[in-house]
Structure 1
Amino acid sequence: MPPIYYLALGFAFTLGACIGSFLNVCIYRIPAGESIVSPPSRCPNCGAGIRWYQNIPILSYLLLGGKCASCKVRISPRYPLVEALTGLLFVLVLYYFGISWATPVYWLFVATLVVITFIDLDHQIIPDVISLPGIPIGFACSFAIPWISWSDSLLGILIGGGSLFLVAFVYELLTKKEGMGGGDIKLLAMLGAFLGWKAVLPIIFISSLLGSLVGVPVMLLKKADSKLAIPFGPFLAAGALIFLFWGRAIIHWYLSFFVT
């Protein structure tokens, strides 16, 4: 492959890692109701400001030995993990979609999923401030994606949000307990907006499968605590990413069983 190809992938990773640094701010501040713009980045322990050369994605964490430069308290390794994960996802988007309008759209999409995943893991919530604007944004972005029409996106919103709402309604009707959070319903509507209605059922299937593979062992380790709360948002996000990168191949593989 030509050197320019590797330069482009390197640029994508660097851009993603820098975006990931900002996503760490969003993950920490949005649930707390704080501004993601000001004040500038600071140590959550001592409150000391973080200078620009101490805020270089991944590299600064390694050079500082994973500790705050001021108070020497250990910094969570999740910060560089989020940066590296976002960089890797940006590389995958560029690799699969090339230089096209789809690439910046899906860069925005995967960055949003990273924030939602870690907030849901920490607080068991999916903030409306992310998912609700994501629905019209995903619909608007459908006009830039040749293989997703505006009608596909609109149906994705209706089927995505409607299917989980129906499941939640029936479950609550039968058990008198809430089994599906409203945040998950809004998230699937957003996923349908970005990926179209054909993605909804595969995402539900994949996320449910992943949730079972992870949730059942966790519940067993927790002595079969049936009330153990396991957030479903990260599994929906994982299902969406799997469909984004390998959805067409999965659908073709599945349909091959019915074609003679």
Structure 2
Amino acid sequence: MNVLVLLLFLAVMAWTSFTDIRSRIIPNAVIFPAIAIIIIIRLFHHPFGFAYYFAWGLLPAVLMLVASLLTKLKGFGAGDIKLMLFIGLALGGFGGFAAFVLGGMLSFLYNSARFVLFKKNMMESVRVAPFLFAGSLLWYLSPMWLVPLVERIFE
């Protein structure tokens, strides 16, 4: 991931996580320009081809949309789906899907802990953006990337 994509990604994810926690909103004023910018970047900088980023960017967003429709729009909000599209376009390939799965697992663990410790309702809505951000970071800092870097540093 090049530096421009990484900086845009971190800024958008930090801001949307903050606004999602604070007000349960992922603002269109942030996410639409971010999606447009990442598409423009991917048109000109695409190590694996634009179709690769576009197809893999759509896949997790479509999965979220289907899950939302199956739960009668109680699963994921439209902002979460647009954010997942941004994540998929930014991370490309397996990264967007991994962020979706890892973020979902983290959200499930958090919700389970709330249920066990505080007897909170498991079906109560959870803010998704922070978990998608954490899942993205877990994937980005995963051993597939971190171990080779550490080995190169200490050679």
TM-score (norm 2): 0.81
In structure 2, runs of 5+ residues without a counterpart are: 147-155
Partner of residue 225 from structure 1, selected from 106, 121, 133: 121
RMSD: 2.3
1:127 aligns with 2:31: no
Specify the SS of the correspondent of 1:136. Answer: helix
Take 1:231 and 1:194, find their aligned partners in 2: how far apart are those partners? Answer: 21
8 Å Cα contact 2:64/2:81 also seen in 1: yes
Alpha-carbon deviation of 1:144?
5.3
User: Residues 247, 154 of structure 1: CA spacing in aligned structure 2 closer, same or farther, 3 A cutoff?
Assistant: farther
Take 1:228 and 1:203, find their aligned partners in 2: how far apart are those partners? Answer: 22
Take 2:11 and 2:38, find their aligned partners in 1: how far apart are those partners? Answer: 13
Take 1:105 and 1:200, find their aligned partners in 2: how far apart are those partners? Answer: 14
Deviations 1:58-113 (A, max 9, x none): xxxxxxxxxxxxxxxxxxxxxxxxxxxxxxxxxxxxxxx7xxxx113211211111
1:136 aligns with 2:36: yes
8 Å Cα contact 2:88/2:97 also seen in 1: no
User: Residues 221, 163 of structure 1: CA spacing in aligned structure 2 closer, same or farther, 3 A cutoff?
Assistant: same
Larger Rg: 1
Which residue of structure 2 aligns with residue 152 of structure 1?
52
Alpha-carbon deviation of 1:128?
1.2
8 Å Cα contact 1:142/1:148 also seen in 2: no
Name the aligned partner's letter for residue 208 of structure 1.
G
User: Residues 227, 160 of structure 1: CA spacing in aligned structure 2 closer, same or farther, 3 A cutoff?
Assistant: closer
Which residue of structure 2 aligns with residue 257 of structure 1?
none
Alpha-carbon deviation of 1:145?
4.1
Partner of residue 162 from structure 1, selected from 62, 76, 82: 62
Take 2:68 and 2:52, find their aligned partners in 1: how far apart are those partners? Answer: 24
Name the aligned partner's letter for residue 127 of structure 1.
P
Take 1:122 and 1:220, find their aligned partners in 2: how far apart are those partners? Answer: 24
User: Residues 131, 248 of structure 1: CA spacing in aligned structure 2 closer, same or farther, 3 A cutoff?
Assistant: farther
Alpha-carbon deviation of 1:181?
0.9
8 Å Cα contact 2:56/2:97 also seen in 1: no
Take 1:124 and 1:207, find their aligned partners in 2: how far apart are those partners? Answer: 17
Take 1:140 and 1:168, find their aligned partners in 2: how far apart are those partners? Answer: 28
Take 2:59 and 2:26, find their aligned partners in 1: how far apart are those partners? Answer: 19
Aligned length in residues: 146
| Higher helix residue share | 2
Take 1:145 and 1:187, find their aligned partners in 2: how far apart are those partners? Answer: 21
Take 1:144 and 1:151, find their aligned partners in 2: how far apart are those partners? Answer: 12
**Paired-residue identity, %:** 23
Alpha-carbon deviation of 1:200?
2.6
Which residue of structure 2 aligns with residue 181 of structure 1?
77
TM-score (norm 1): 0.51
